[in-house]
Structure 1
Amino acid sequence: MLYISARPQTVAADAEFESFRTAARLDDGDIRRHDLVTDPLMIEPDVTAVIIGGSPYNVTDPESSKTDEQRRGEEHLARLAVACADGVGPAVLFTCYGIGVASRALGGEVTRAFPEDTGTAVVELTDAGQADPVFGSLASRFSVLTTHKEGCVAPPPGGVLLATNAACPVQAYRVGERLYATQFHPEPTAKAFAERMDVYRNDGYFDAADYDALAAEVVRTSVTEPLRIIREFVRLFG
C-alpha cells in the first residue's frame, strides 16, 4: 500500500498518514509514504494500491497562482488517474483535493459551485453505490467529514456515481474497476479531523474565531462508515 501526500504542511501530512494507516488497520511496514510536494511521483512495481490524501490546493486555482510544486503534483496525479482508468497500474483512491485532479484529468468539470463548510455532512449512496464492491457494505445514509472550496459537476465520462448529497452532487464515484474518488475525507476520526482544522484555521475554510465551536461540534459527531471505505479498499486491492 502507498499513501501519497499533497500537503505542504508537514504536521498535517503526518497526521493524515497516521489516519489512513489506522483506518486501514495496517502496520507501519505495510504502508509506504510518498511526499508529492517535494518529490516526483515514483510508484514501485510491487505496489497494488495507492491512496491520495487531501490538500489545501485546488485544481480550480488560477494557473498564475499555482506553485511549481502544485503544478507538478497535479500533472503526476493526472497521469496516475488516466493510467488507472485505462486499467494500468495499481488501484487508486483519490480523496478530497484528489477527486478534482482525477475528474479534470478524465474529462470531467470541476467548479467552485459546490463548496461545503468545514464540519460534518450527510451523504447517501446511490443504487450503484449500494451494489459497489467497496461501498456496498456501508449504511445507505451516513455522516462524513468535509471541507472544500470546489466540487465536481458530475462524474467524469465513464464514471459511476456512488454517493451524493444536495450541497455537493458528486461525493464519490468509481471509474472502471479500480479507480475510486471521494469528495469527503474518509480517513480521519472526528478528533483527528478537529486537530487538522486547527492547522488550517487561517486558510479561509472557516472563520478562525469559530474554531472552538466548530471543533466541538465535530467531535460530538459519530463518523464510522467512511473509515470502512478505507478498510474495504485495502481488503480488495492492498
Structure 2
Amino acid sequence: MVSLLYVCVRPELGAADAEHASFRRALGVDVVDRLDLLTDRLDTVDLSRYRGVVVGGSPFNVTDESKSPEQRRVEADLETLARQAIDGSVAAFFTCFSIGVVTRMLGGEVTTSTPEAASATVIRTTVAGDSDPVFGPSAPALTVFTAHKESAVALPSGAVLLATNDACPVQAYRVGTHLYTAQFHPEPTPRDFADRMTFYRTTGYFDPEEFDLVQGQVLSASVTEGAALLRRFAETFAN
C-alpha cells in the first residue's frame, strides 16, 4: 500500500511534474501518490491511507492582496491538512509557501521584509532542532535551497523552532510531533533547482538579467541535506 502523498500547489504543470519527481527521489521511494489541490479538493482523498504527506512549493503568497478562488481554496485545504497533522492523524512536511499558511493559521504574522533570492544558503539548527529526529542528524548546520518573497515575522504560538539563519530567522519549525514546516525547499538537487528556475524567470525570485549567473551558482552548490531531512521524515513516519 502506498504510504506517502505529495500535495501539489503549483499552477505550472511542468514545474509540478518536476517537483513530484524531486520529492520521490529525495524521499527514497519509488511510489509517491499525488494530489493537485488546484484541481482536486483535499476531501477527495482518504488521508488515513497515508502515514506521510509532503507539500510542495508555489508562486502563491499568503500576503497576496488579491487572491483567486483557487488560491483561497488551496489555503483552506492546507489549513485542514495542518490541523490533522497537529492532532497526530497524519504526519506532514510543509515547504515554502505553505509554511506561511500554517504560520497565519496559528495566529502568527507573515511579512515580505525578509525574502531570500533563489540560491543555496546555510541554515543553523537550534537546540530543539539538534534533538529532533528529522533535523538532529544534520546539526549544527546544513545548506539548502531558498527562494521566497515572504516569511514568518516570528515563531508562531505553539511551534518549536528547528532551524534559523540571519537572513530569515524562521527557517523551520515543528508543531506537536507530526507537523513539520520549512521555509526552504528540501527536495531539489542542484540540477532540479536550476531547471525549476526556468519556470519562474520573470516572477521576482532573482534578477532575470542575471539568470545564467544565478543558475551557474545553483549548479555548483553542494546541497544534499535537504533530501536527507525528507528521507528521515519518511523513515520516521512512513515505514
For structure 1, which segment, 105-114 or 71-80, has the greater mean C-alpha deviation from structure 2 after superposition? Answer: 105-114
| 8 Å contact kept, 1:3–1:51 | yes
1:164-198 deviations in Å (ceiling 9; x for gaps): 00010000000000000000000000110010011
Amino acid at match of 1:132: D
Map of 1:10-49 to 2, 5 A cutoff? 10-28=13-31, 31-42=32-43, 43-44=45-46, 45-49=48-52
> Could you tell me which residue of structure 2 aligns to residue 232 of structure 1?
232
Q: CA deviation at 1:223?
A: 0.2
Q: Which residue of 1 aligns with 2:115?
A: 115
- What does the per-residue CA deviation read over 1:109-145, in whole Å, with 9 as the maximum and x for residues that have no partner? 1111210111111100001101001111113112110
Partner of 1:223: 223
Whether the aligned pair in 2 keeps the contact of 1:81 and 1:106 (CA below 8 Å) is no
Distance 1:173 1:135 in 2: 10
Deviation at 1:56, TM superposition (A): 0.2
Following the alignment from structure 2 to structure 1, what is the Cα–Cα distance between the partners of residues 18 and 154? 30
User: How many Å separate the matches in 1 of 2:155 and 2:230?
Assistant: 20
TM-score scaled by length of structure 2:
0.95
User: Residues 129 and 139 of structure 2 are in contact (CA less than 8 Å); yes or no, is this contact kept in structure 1?
Assistant: no
Structure 1 runs of 4+ off > 3 angstroms? none
Q: Identity over the aligned pairs, expressed in percent?
A: 52
Task: Determine if contact 1:82/1:105 at 8 Å carries over to the other structure.
Answer: no
- Structure 2: distance between partners of 1:173 and 1:214: 28
- Give secondary structure in 1 for the equivalent of 2:132: coil
C-alpha separation in 2, matches of 1:139 and 1:79 = 31
Query: Which sits farther off after the overlay, 93-102 or 104-113?
Result: 104-113
Aligned residues: 233
- C-alpha deviation, 1:37, in angstroms: 0.8
Unaligned runs of 5+ in 2: none
For the aligned residue pairs, the C-alpha RMSD in angstroms reads 0.9
Deviation by residue 1:186-216 (Cα, 9 ceiling, x = unmatched)? 0000110010011100112122111110000
The within-5 A match list for 1:1-238 is 1-28=4-31, 31-42=32-43, 43-44=45-46, 45-62=48-65, 65-87=66-88, 89-238=89-238
What SS does the aligned partner of 1:93 have? strand
Give unpaired runs (5+ residues) of structure 1.
Answer: none
TM-score, with length taken from structure 1: 0.95
Distance 1:101 1:162 in 2: 18
Give, in angstroms, the shift of residue 93 of structure 1. 0.4
